[in-house]
Amino acid sequence: MQRKVIIACAVTGSADTPARNPAVPVTPRDIAASAIDAAKAGAAIVHIHVRDPQTTRPSMDGALYREVVERIRASGTDVLINLTTGPGARFIPGVDDPLKPAPGSTLSLPTARVRHVVELAPEICSLDMGSMNMGGQVFINTPAHLEAMAVAIRDAGVTPELEVFEAGHLMLARRLIETGHVKPPGLFQICLGISWGQPATSEAVAYMRGLLPPDCIWFAFGISLHQFPIAAQTVLLGGHVRVGLEDNLYLEKGKLTPSNAALVEKAANIIDILGDHVATPVEARQMLGLRARP
């Protein structure tokens, strides 16, 4: 039976990628333009990080988020906006004193990590559901911090996208649903291939899918060369798709993608080939139980 498949596009991320592919947008103007182009190509959701326009490094500056959101909303597109809350969770222990953070640590209070979400009221925001080693750093999201962030997100009328990188994250997310911090049945994003979480394999997609709450809507993505194989596997298993320059810089082996829109178009082709249809923003809102934007 044919179904509607939502495409989410993660537009820029926070990794040190602009030097590796000039298509990675950096300024608020470019991030918004890339998001709008992705929407025109078939993305119903755009997932937004912001960067310092001078250094290209990730930023938590609320003014940058505001400019991106206002530009997207002013464009006339009905695309759903998903703002990240990931920045502010990295910790690198000091070499001489591990209790003191080394340069590069960004640990912040929960209120600081969701301030832009509360102020801008996007339809969706990400909520990373646990701690893990990530490359050479530690990504810290304690249960108490997650509960505080979830309450602020809920009270702002925003739907949290529960990002799970391993099985324990998913079980913690289910616990937050049970305790009322997150509205059931939850919106999930299964993140695969990130060091050191679940690998980007068909077996991992199927395993994580089996742990999800009944009737929830779920997405999955694989990073780098795994982006499109995991997209296909996700569609076959009944999920929805995320692509974008946050996760992958290449359109095919050895060929840098010229844009986020090109990645979305390829994902849309995969969905069509597999016999399903790409969901519009209006359809995505209905599936997620979200009201139309005023």
Over the Cα atoms of the chain, what is R_g? 18
| Six token digits for residue 50 | 């912001």
Q: Provide the percentage of residues in the chain whose pLDDT is more than 90.
A: 96
Give the length of the chain. Answer: 294
What is the architecture of the domain spanning 4-288?
Alpha-Beta Barrel (3.20)
Task: Give residue 64's pLDDT.
Answer: 98
Contact yes or no for 101/93 (Cβ under 8 A): yes
| Residue 87 parent element (H or E) | none
Nearest to 276 by CA among 223, 226, 240, 222: 240
CA–CA separation, 235 and 80 (whole Å): 20
Question: Which residues in 44-83 are b (16+ Cβ under 10 Å) and which e?
Answer: bbbbbbbbeeeebebbbebebbebbbebbbeeebebbbbb
Res. 135 pLDDT band, cuts 50 70 90: confident
Q: What is the pLDDT of residues 221-274, one digit of tens each?
A: 999 999 999 999 999 999 999 999 999 999 999 999 999 999 999 999 999 999
**217 φ, ψ to 5°?**
-95, 135
Q: How far does Cα 127 stand from its chain's mean position? A: 9
Task: Give residue 136's pLDDT.
Answer: 80
Task: Give residue 2's pLDDT.
Answer: 86
pTM for the whole structure? 0.96
Q: What is the mean pLDDT of the chain?
A: 96
Task: Give residue 35's pLDDT.
Answer: 98
C-alpha distances in angstroms, 293 versus 81, 123, 143?
11, 9, 32
pLDDT of 292 higher than 80: no
Task: Give residue 247's pLDDT.
Answer: 97
pLDDT of 153 higher than 70: yes
Q: How far does Cα 97 stand from its chain's mean position? A: 33
- E strands along 61-143, which residues? 80-83, 90-91, 124-128, 132-134, 137-139
Q: Region 23-40: what's the mean pLDDT?
A: 98
Task: Give residue 134's pLDDT.
Answer: 87
Structural domain boundaries in the chain: 4-288
Q: Region 156-185: what's the mean pLDDT?
A: 97
Contact yes or no for 32/72 (Cβ under 8 A): yes
pLDDT of 294 higher than 70: no
Contact yes or no for 113/127 (Cβ under 8 A): no
pLDDT of 1 higher than 70: no
Q: Provide the percentage of residues in the chain whose pLDDT is more than 70.
A: 99
- Which residues have a Cβ under 8 Å from the Cβ of 211 and sit 6 or more positions away? 167, 170, 171, 174
pLDDT of 293 higher than 90: no
Any long-range contacts for 237-241 (C-beta under 8 Å, 24+ apart)?
237/205, 237/206, 237/209, 238/3, 238/209, 239/190, 239/205, 239/209, 240/5, 240/6, 240/7, 240/8, 240/279, 241/5, 241/6, 241/7, 241/8, 241/267, 241/270, 241/271
Task: Give residue 288's pLDDT.
Answer: 96
CA–CA separation, 52 and 109 (whole Å): 20
Dihedral sign (CA 145, 147, 149, 152) = negative
